[in-house]
Structure 1
Amino acid sequence: MPAFRLALAAGLALSLSACATAPSRINDVCAVFDQRDGWFNNWRSAAERTERRYGVPVPVLMATVRKESGFKGNARPPRTKLLGFIPWKRQSSAYGYSQALDGTWAQYVRESSNFTARRTNFADAVNFVGWYHSKTSDSLGVARNDTYNLYLAYYLGWNGYKRGAWRGNSGIQNYARSTDQMARRYAAQLQQCR
């Protein structure tokens, strides 16, 4: 019977965390951590574990998640419209906090041996971001604290980054620039709330 109660409690905690809404003050990393750090779900600890494992600073990780999903665990790209008004397919398979694509998420699960990982779980998603940025650093020579270039590679994929697909694309350059600025802001804020 105790095993049944434990499984029931775990299931209840999981269902409650799935219903959680995104933090309301997403431009303040201290507020994000304050709003989401609890007994079942400690976002700060998850981000710090990822930093220790992959060497990617917490502000870079958090700025990436903020840009990708606004800290919404069930975020998806909008649907396209058929005939201009009928909701149709989504633009991509991006999903969850990290907006990881199906294929890249499957690669992460295989390489990390984290077979229970879910894109809707913050700890798994931030670990994915750390893994992705670490592979970018190792294979493309981007520094682990270079938010601008890490985000370009994250957004475009490794091949798109290698091809320089951001050159001449001011939209993606602005996305990467604003992610870099957010990481700098988060780094300053973390000094105040540690």
Structure 2
Amino acid sequence: MLKFKLYIGLLIASAILAGCATSPPQKPDDLCEIFYEHRDWYDAAADARDKWGVPIHIPMAMMYQESSFKSDAQPPMEYFLGFIPIGRASSAYGYSQAKTMTWDDYKRETGNGWADRDDFEDAIDFMGWFIYKTHKINGVSKWDANKQYLNYHEGWGGYRKKTYNKKKWLQNVALKVQRRAETYGAQLKRCEEDLQSGWLWRLFFG
């Protein structure tokens, strides 16, 4: 009987957790609105900024491009003869669309062994780590969303080989990320003071 009760309890807990899955923000074009909707996202993004020296609007613009802030985003399934599933184009998954091998490198280097790609806090920390390493390895400014995105997409070695020069579409996407980062940066300036206020201040004066 005790085992049965424990089993039922686990089922209920699982259902509750499933129902609490974080949905994409309703207004993804406004960084202030994103953080007002998901207050814990701002805290996580600020932690990544403080840890890696990465401006908040850069990884957020890159994340929008990669997953549209969907926790379980992944490449579409590919099919043989149009109907036989043969797998996905890559192992990219989650908010950051990190590939399994790179994610494992991140976990090993940071000691964050329990990190999950569908957890926003882990995903934004991963992106901060990647941007930090891009700066160290390829000398790209942490504020340069265009070149940071090219590194993110092509990898550090691919960027050095300038593989993006043969991909006009990718260059256009990187420019799009740059424009979004500029917009996000301007938006954040008008609301960050409010976002930084503690929960008690928001309770009485928000």
TM-score, with structure 2 as normaliser: 0.84
Task: Please identify the structure whose Cα radius of gyration is greater.
Answer: 2
How far did 1:34 drift? 1.3
Distance 1:118 1:11 in 2: 17
Matched residue pairs, number? 183
Paired position in structure 1 for 2:31: 29
Paired position in structure 1 for 2:175: 177
Q: How does 1:14-163 map to 2 (within 5 A)?
A: 14-17=17-20, 19-37=21-39, 42-163=40-161
- The answer for unaligned runs of 5 or more in structure 1 is 1-7
- The answer for unaligned runs of 5 or more in structure 2 is 1-9, 193-206
TM-score, with structure 1 as normaliser: 0.89
SS at match of 1:166: helix
SS at match of 2:163: coil
SS at match of 1:94: coil
How far did 1:169 drift? 1.5
Counterpart AA for 2:136: D
Q: Let me know the Cα RMSD of the aligned residues.
A: 1.9
Counterpart AA for 2:75: P
Q: Percent identity?
A: 40
How far did 1:53 drift? 0.8
How far did 1:85 drift? 2.7
Q: Deviations over 1:87-145 (max 9, x none)?
A: 33100000000000000000000001001100000000000000001000001000110
The runs of 4+ residues in structure 1 deviating greater than 2 Å are 10-17, 85-88
Deviates more, 1:144-153 or 1:20-29: 20-29
